[in-house]
Amino acid sequence: MQWKQEYINTVKTLAKQGLSSSKIGEAMFEQYNINFSGRTIRKYAQGVEKDTTNVRGVELTINQDGSQTSITRIQMTSEQAKDPDFVLRAHGFDSYKWDIISLKNNFWQMGSKDSDPVDLYQSKITVKPRVVKLNVDDLIETLNRNVKPIEVKNIQQGETSLVISLFDLHFGITKLNMLKSHINQIANILKKGYKRVEIIVGGDVLHSDFITKTQTASNTQLDHVKTIKALNEAESFISTIIEMSLQYSPTVEVKAVSGNHDTDSQYLFIWGMSKKYPQVEFDNELNTERLAFSFDKVGIMVAHGNLALKRLPMLFANEYPDIWAHSRYRMVASGHFHTEKKTDVDGVMMWQFGTAKPNDPYEKANGYTMGRKHLQLLEFDKERLLATYEVE
């Protein structure tokens, strides 16, 4: 078996406390539930100097649960008696490796006519091996370890809300360098400052659902793309949009629905992004064909657009009656066809968004090349659309 450093340290600690090799073996069995070889224990225990400072006649009991109870007499001051680290060391325990569960010090003075009295304690402690505990701050630190700090200087808080709709980016076909100008334009729009920014990821962020082959979620063979590169570029692009939004709005949310190309890969991609940005609220359920959200009196349903497209207004009303009832502006945002189309269907704005993606060989062959290659950002006040920003 593999001897972990932890086992070696425990052998050394116990040897330091004066335990024999066979007692160490018993203690180790209690603690780890493993029968360690006596020969190896002797090897590591050999030459360890016993710690006898302040310790006289320690009585040590190893308990069922792996804790240890130690009784000894210690000469110490009343201040030292209150210091768990000191008491641990006086019992021969390494205070970095053990925690006191209970401690009882009985005091008495010993002396004679000729000398000053000495403060003595009958000390009994029960200890357990220290477990490394992560506190909440450490945990946040761990979660944020790869997040580049964003310098937020006076968040500009506007009165209006911005919806950034990102449908059908098809990274793999779309390359990051094609979107540089789009990023600059979006930055300029964001600079105004917003009450909130809603980023819609409407599916087909990645061209392929797979890493090792280029196929859609339903295994349709596609023109080959480099998916790892696509993943890195999608991460750069979406991260940039999120970080810019955080700079110009106190509330940033991401709403993601599955596309037909990247049902699994987009879910995992957005899942990763949600770990990267714990300060952003992510709505990313697996197999979400549609979702709805609202702010103020604006209600928006999001669907990729490949499923149940014509029924979406009534699905919105039926599946999200609360949002529907509280909204004065109702909109269904979709994509999938890579061409913008906006229709007022009985008061529900059916907005099919285009994409900045360039034409791929399939589209060229079939002549699907004529839509505008653009992204759109929508600015809302509390209950209506104020402006549409065209980014192309």
CB-nearest residue to Mn ion: 336
Q: What does the per-residue mask of binding to Mn ion show for 315-344, with x meaning CB under 5 A?
A: ---------------------x--------
Cβ(317)–Cβ(349) below 8 Å: no
Return the number of the residue (162 or 222) whose C-beta is nearest Mn ion: 222
Looking up tokens 């008696």 gives 81
**Phi, psi (rounded to 5 degrees) for 104:** -140, 120
172 is a site residue for Mn ion (CB under 5 A): no
Q: What does the per-residue mask of binding to Mn ion show for 181-220, with x meaning CB under 5 A?
A: -----------------------x----------------
CB of 200 to Mn ion, least distance (A): 14
What are residue 287's DSSP bridge partners? none
Return the number of the residue (89 or 290) whose C-beta is nearest Mn ion: 290
Cα 266 to Cα 328: distance, rounded to the nearest angstrom: 32
CB of 170 to Mn ion, least distance (A): 8
User: Six-digit token pair at 334?
Assistant: 């979709």
Return the number of the residue (198 or 204) whose C-beta is nearest Mn ion: 204
CB of 133 to Mn ion, least distance (A): 47
**Phi, psi (rounded to 5 degrees) for 131:** -105, 135
Please identify, among the stretches 177-185, 260-268, 347-355, 359-367, the one whose residues bind Mn ion according to the rule CB under 5 A: 260-268
CB of 364 to Mn ion, least distance (A): 17
Return the number of the residue (216 or 249) whose C-beta is nearest Mn ion: 216
Nearest alpha-carbon partner for 323 in 300, 344, 303, 343: 300
> Under rule CB under 5 A, how many of the chain's residues touch Mn ion?
4
CB of 321 to Mn ion, least distance (A): 28
354 is a site residue for Mn ion (CB under 5 A): no
Cα 283 to Cα 299: distance, rounded to the nearest angstrom: 15
Cα 203 to Cα 263: distance, rounded to the nearest angstrom: 8
Return the number of the residue (70 or 258) whose C-beta is nearest Mn ion: 258
Please identify, among the stretches 212-220, 251-259, 345-353, 381-389, the one whose residues bind Mn ion according to the rule CB under 5 A: 251-259
Cα 89 to Cα 98: distance, rounded to the nearest angstrom: 10
User: Six-digit token pair at 193?
Assistant: 């400052």
CB of 274 to Mn ion, least distance (A): 22
Return the number of the residue (169 or 273) whose C-beta is nearest Mn ion: 169
260 is a site residue for Mn ion (CB under 5 A): yes
CB of 33 to Mn ion, least distance (A): 54
Cα 325 to Cα 330: distance, rounded to the nearest angstrom: 10
CB of 305 to Mn ion, least distance (A): 7
- Single residue of 259, 299, 313, 354 touching Mn ion by CB under 5 A: 259
CB of 216 to Mn ion, least distance (A): 8
Sequence-ordered alpha helix ranges (H) in the chain: 5-16, 21-32, 38-45, 78-81, 84-90, 136-143, 180-190, 227-248, 263-276, 312-319, 321-326, 361-366
Question: 287-294: long-range contacts at Cβ-Cβ below 8 A with a sequence spacing of 24 or more?
Answer: 287/258, 287/263, 288/256, 288/257, 288/258, 289/257, 289/258, 290/257, 290/315, 290/319, 291/255, 291/257, 292/316, 292/319, 292/320, 292/323, 293/198, 293/253, 293/255, 293/323, 294/323, 294/326, 294/327
Return the number of the residue (337 or 380) whose C-beta is nearest Mn ion: 337
Return the number of the residue (274 or 306) whose C-beta is nearest Mn ion: 306
Return the number of the residue (293 or 353) whose C-beta is nearest Mn ion: 353
List residues binding Mn ion (CB under 5 A).
204, 259-260, 336
